[in-house]
Structure 1
């Protein structure tokens, strides 16, 4: 079914540029305004795996170490562009919202098309602001009407995204939408996703505004969130070159053995016989054992000696997990530990790990004995640390999200500081913003970071 949707999307975009050739010869066939609402939504969905599939994200969370050409893992001060998100998915989704009155119900109820566009737009913006801080938002995506948008504060963006997500769920009606390569048009899944994003956003505010965090968290939980892996937000790659997993293209097609599991990850999982380790990495070829590589190691090494990226992870059709039930149970466990909800922190912690087992290995066999080990068992006296440590293990290959959770909680501890460089606290803005949008760029940098666009400036919620 999913492959057919990809084909339909490709053909639809092809035919729309070929119809009425004489009339449209002077019209750019690639302009988003030329596509239907559901085609634009589907095109935005194609960018979802990019939110996770990135070596840089894995380095920020110290899941993977570079085996050669060591550079990015040394945390150099460098700029990182957010333009891809604005020029791709956000532009597509904003076009849907701007053209609501002209959307065709052929693709499904218009209200549902708009609701899905709002949810995806909020999800992309949440990821963008959590990486860079203040970013263009209310004045963004206006085209020729404004080429130099102001930077909104992260606080104001969060507040608006909460409302956008609530509005999206409130406007949903019965019926599905077409061309949906994520949930196949199932609006109940979209409803749960919107509430789950709200839940995670609320938890992110635990240190900067605990009252608002609790209010938004409990409201989102009450509205219904993802509690089963069947409803996870995950991107399904295809076993073909047109839509293959990013890591497959790197490891197999380009024959790169550039990434090994870190010492820290292996040390966390191997002593407790964590079955997920066999999925996360391959045993070292030299001795068929799991051996982690010290993060940031610059000496010349042999890849035979270390556990490289797992074959299941870089399979051509390997999925990308973005929003999962295990994360939800970890969040509820933490909320319970903070006294926000009348739930059992330990029960939700245990359920989170069980859901993680099911997600990564397809089985929960041995879960009880695993949870009974002292190194794994929930520690009520150090609840936040217990939860954060196992959340980190679960979020493997979603490095940016794990990095955000580390910035918020400070756990896990014991990460490496290659050449004395600590883990960055944000991404620096695109280098050309300083002259393309200089006034607004300089104002944002001054407001947040005392005029220095460095990777160690703290975001609003990172208190």
Structure 2
């Protein structure tokens, strides 16, 4: 990605380091510019918005926790932690207060209003897409959330909560408006190098907006008052209008320089947090058993070194949510494709489009396996292999041993399991497992080989189906927090969100 504005680039590079969050919020928070607090130009707003959304939300807390619950990853440490379903109300405060509502959604709201007032519809379009996307992540994790009453300055300190059903209506409306505004070719100010995702190519933003609309239509396949086939038809109709492809899938490029590295590198590799978050034993064993060539791009093989058992060298070895039996170097890490210093952070991958099509065709066919469903399934797997650059020959070999079953129930599980593998380290996998029940994941109570009992059993006997509401909301906005959701996180995280409650 080209960086023409060197000063902004340096600031944003610093901003992807957690140690710089406080200073960056002062330098880049578009609510206050110390040099000109009432007139921050749209280009600076946009770079800050995209950078914050990428690091703090798409590559931040939501995916770190959901990847533990979908068993993409595990936390190899002793005692209670998120991997065995300990999540406290205070744990989600930063995501809610600082990251999503302040750094992303409020700033997106301000940007869209400013761009509209200045007659710059392309900037408004991007702001609305980011706002809609963050809204979806927050409502999918928490359920009912503030939106319509949330961005009124001092008057909005205690905003009412909108129902998740209404939030989804707002999301679709925002995306519809964004598509229209992104298509506007007037002589207004245009994004360029300040657009770190697409460098101002609005046709790519339009394709992304259609892709998100399709995703969200399918999200409601089991929602109360909805029918799966109708939602699937809406998803396919949206994709017919446009969708991301390999060359324009949204990916944020990080830097190999200190403090500008990829979020997964900072979180799981170089030790800014820990080096114990690694591919799970369940996930690694599953892909090894399937001879899945994608594993090489998702996890590393163990390499020789001090205190590394020679028997482990050259093998994939996953961790569990317990203190490991050996030093951590005996276990696979997240592969460089995702965790190198300068690895791209994919916000959405193009194979998801083909998996949306495969599932939608299955649902439209009344959950039967037709030739159209079979072809869509195979195309989705080929796209997933192509995403990593795996050869067509290897994809054919994999498909030969993973043909779609003629049994409808088994076929659905196959479609969703393959999508789960394709959407490695993405929150969407957590949404899909809740929505469909596939893949049928065991709770996080694995034992390492040789262990006879767990050091710390899971706190609940199921995979959590939501995040608890933040303690800050309980403290400052208690009258509006939905009363049906317990203040006790252990009880709250087993209550399904609206679209998952049918």
Give the TM-score, by structure 2 length. 0.80
Deviation of 1:363 after TM superposition, in Å, equals 4.3
Distance in 1 (CA, whole Å) between partners of 2:293 and 2:392 is: 10
Q: Which residue of 2 aligns with 1:23?
A: none
Distance in 2 (CA, whole Å) between partners of 1:197 and 1:212 is: 17
Greater CA deviation, 191-200 or 157-166? Answer: 157-166
Q: Which residue of 1 aligns with 2:435?
A: 408
Distance in 1 (CA, whole Å) between partners of 2:154 and 2:3 is: 36
Could you tell me whether the CA contact under 8 Å between 2:113 and 2:124 is conserved in 1? no
Distance in 1 (CA, whole Å) between partners of 2:71 and 2:162 is: 30
Q: Which residue of 2 aligns with 1:17?
A: none
Which SS does the other structure have where 1:318 is aligned?
coil
User: Structure 1 residues 394 and 31 mapped into 2: Cα distance closer, same or farther (>3 Å)?
Assistant: farther
Matches within 5 A, 1:47-446: 47-49=53-55, 50-54=57-61, 55-70=64-79, 71-79=81-89, 80-81=92-93, 82-83=96-97, 84-103=99-118, 110-171=120-181, 172-174=183-185, 176-178=190-192, 179-208=194-223, 209-210=226-227, 213-226=231-244, 228-250=245-267, 251-252=269-270, 254=272, 256-285=274-303, 286=309, 287-293=312-318, 295-298=320-323, 300-339=325-364, 344-361=372-389, 363-373=391-401, 376-381=402-407, 382-398=410-426, 400-418=427-445, 419-420=457-458, 421=460, 422-441=462-481, 444-446=482-484
Could you tell me whether the CA contact under 8 Å between 1:65 and 1:296 is conserved in 2? yes
Could you tell me whether the CA contact under 8 Å between 2:355 and 2:376 is conserved in 1? yes
Q: Which residue of 2 aligns with 1:456?
A: 494
Distance in 2 (CA, whole Å) between partners of 1:417 and 1:222 is: 39
What do residues 182-227 of structure 1 show as CA deviations (whole Å, max 9, x unaligned)?
A: 011111100010010000001111111126523531331222112x
What do residues 375-394 of structure 1 show as CA deviations (whole Å, max 9, x unaligned)?
A: x2222422221111111111
Deviation of 1:440 after TM superposition, in Å, equals 0.6
Distance in 2 (CA, whole Å) between partners of 1:452 and 1:424 is: 13
Distance in 2 (CA, whole Å) between partners of 1:456 and 1:5 is: 47
What do residues 84-116 of structure 1 show as CA deviations (whole Å, max 9, x unaligned)?
A: 11110112111112223543x7xxxx1111111
User: Structure 1 residues 435 and 53 mapped into 2: Cα distance closer, same or farther (>3 Å)?
Assistant: closer
Which SS does the other structure have where 1:136 is aligned?
coil
Could you tell me whether the CA contact under 8 Å between 1:263 and 1:291 is conserved in 2? no
Deviation of 1:158 after TM superposition, in Å, equals 0.3
**Long gaps (5+) in structure 1:** 13-26
Give the TM-score, by structure 1 length. 0.87
Could you tell me whether the CA contact under 8 Å between 1:68 and 1:300 is conserved in 2? no
Q: Which residue of 2 aligns with 1:24?
A: none
Greater CA deviation, 169-178 or 339-348? Answer: 339-348
Which SS does the other structure have where 2:129 is aligned?
helix
Could you tell me whether the CA contact under 8 Å between 2:302 and 2:332 is conserved in 1? yes
User: Structure 1 residues 242 and 3 mapped into 2: Cα distance closer, same or farther (>3 Å)?
Assistant: farther
Distance in 2 (CA, whole Å) between partners of 1:450 and 1:262 is: 30
Distance in 2 (CA, whole Å) between partners of 1:101 and 1:366 is: 50
What do residues 272-297 of structure 1 show as CA deviations (whole Å, max 9, x unaligned)?
A: 32222112111123332434445323
Q: Which residue of 2 aligns with 1:4?
A: 4
User: Structure 1 residues 174 and 311 mapped into 2: Cα distance closer, same or farther (>3 Å)?
Assistant: same
Distance in 1 (CA, whole Å) between partners of 2:144 and 2:75 is: 31
Which SS does the other structure have where 1:338 is aligned?
helix
Deviation of 1:147 after TM superposition, in Å, equals 1.0
User: Structure 1 residues 32 and 292 mapped into 2: Cα distance closer, same or farther (>3 Å)?
Assistant: farther
Which SS does the other structure have where 2:475 is aligned?
helix
Distance in 1 (CA, whole Å) between partners of 2:38 and 2:390 is: 42
